[in-house]
């Protein structure tokens, strides 16, 4: 009999996955956890940096001026005042009103809390508004006198309001609240105390209040009284001062 040749059989045994091998489905979760940890560390690092800068800012303010490297020194290098024009006025200032307003200005970020990004300022604005009669607007025929110069009639234009003038000595920021980012920006900004918007808002509110206060009516009355007394002192027995309609 012939010999039989047996072919060897190869057995492939697959070992079970070890603990160190992660399933493909578990890899995104691990990556997400690492990303969250990275974001958290970044936020903590930013917050710590801001806190250190703010603390350093407060500490530097307590140092004497000679030791504080950020201490400001004011020097007036202004040039001479240049006279640009002279204008003759024909106004009679008949009344003036003093006003005070508290401007509450708040600025917020859309998606950030106010403690991080935002500011709120209370500004006390104090100023005055004058009401005057412009005699240059008197036309021909505005003043009529009878033949024997005993009676006079005057037709005046309506009183007008001048622009509100804020008193810089009485107007000031009462209190201000700023978020961490705004405080950090003020520290490095070249003009952290820009109050131009606050002054403009206060002036506009005072101007609107003056228009509703009856200041123009008071000026009309005072102008009529002044002219009546003046014309009577000149010898006119009958004086009629009229104010134009509104």
Q: Write out pLDDT tens, residues 23-65.
A: 444 455 555 566 666 666 776 777 677 667 666 666 656 555 5
Residues 148 and 230 in one domain: yes
Residues 235 and 130 in one domain: yes
Structural domain contains residue 152: yes
Task: Write down which residue in 61, 76, 110 finishes a domain.
Answer: 61
Residues 42 and 143 in one domain: no
Residue 9 above 50 pLDDT?
A: no
Residues 50 and 138 in one domain: no
The whole-angstrom separation of Cα 238 and Cα 232 is 8
Structural domain contains residue 43: yes
Residues 43 and 100 in one domain: no
The pLDDT score that the predictor gives to residue 49 is 74
Residues 116 and 50 in one domain: no
Helix spans in 124-195 (H) = 180-188
The whole-angstrom separation of Cα 154 and Cα 242 is 6
Residues 155 and 203 in one domain: yes
Torsion over CA of 56, 57, 59 and 64, rounded to 10 degrees?
Answer: 130
Structural domain contains residue 83: no
Structural domain contains residue 12: no
Structural domain contains residue 3: no
Structural domain contains residue 54: yes
Q: Could you read off the pLDDT of 166-219 as tens digits, one per residue?
A: 999 999 988 876 655 555 555 445 444 568 889 999 999 999 999 999 999 999
Residue 108 above 70 pLDDT?
A: no
The pLDDT score that the predictor gives to residue 4 is 47
Residues 36 and 105 in one domain: no
For the chain, the domain total comes to 2
Burial label for 171, CB within 10 Å (0-12, 13-18, 19+), is buried
Interval 114-137 mean pLDDT: 83
Structural domain contains residue 76: no
User: What does the mean pLDDT of the chain come to?
Assistant: 77
Q: Which domain holds residue 178?
A: 91-243
Residues 41 and 105 in one domain: no
Interval 135-150 mean pLDDT: 89
Residues 125 and 171 in one domain: yes
Residues 6+ apart with CB under 8 A from 138: 155, 156, 157
Residues 138 and 221 in one domain: yes
The pLDDT score that the predictor gives to residue 1 is 45
Structural domain contains residue 85: no
Task: Write down which residue in 40, 61, 82 finishes a domain.
Answer: 61
Residues 32 and 136 in one domain: no
Cα angle vertex 180, ends 176, 186, to 5°? 65
């Amino acid at each position: 009999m012939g010999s039989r040749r047996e072919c060897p059989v190869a057995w492939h045994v697959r070992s079970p996955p070890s603990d160190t091998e992660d399933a493909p489905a578990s890899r995104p979760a691990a990556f997400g956890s690492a990303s969250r940890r990275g974001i958290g560390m970044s936020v903590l690092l930013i917050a710590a940096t801001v806190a250190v800068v703010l603390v350093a800012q407060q500490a530097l303010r307590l140092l004497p001026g000679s030791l504080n490297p950020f201490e400001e020194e004011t020097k007036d290098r202004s040039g001479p005042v240049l006279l640009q024009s002279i204008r003759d006025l024909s106004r009679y200032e008949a009344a003036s009103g003093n006003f005070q307003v508290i401007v509450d200005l708040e600025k917020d970020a859309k998606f950030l809390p106010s403690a991080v990004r935002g500011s709120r300022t209370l500004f006390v604005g104090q100023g005055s508004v004058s009401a005057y009669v412009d005699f240059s607007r008197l036309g021909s025929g505005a003043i009529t006198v009878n033949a024997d110069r005993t009676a006079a009639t005057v037709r005046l234009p309506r009183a007008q309001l001048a622009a509100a003038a804020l008193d810089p000595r009485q107007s000031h920021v009462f209190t201000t609240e700023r978020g961490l980012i705004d405080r950090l920006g003020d520290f490095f900004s070249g003009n952290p105390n820009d109050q131009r918007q606050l002054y403009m808002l206060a002036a506009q509110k005072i101007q609107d209040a003056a228009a509703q206060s009856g200041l123009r009516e008071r000026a009309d009355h005072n102008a009529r009284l002044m002219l009546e007394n003046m014309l009577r002192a000149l010898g006119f027995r009958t004086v009629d001062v009229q104010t134009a309609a509104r």
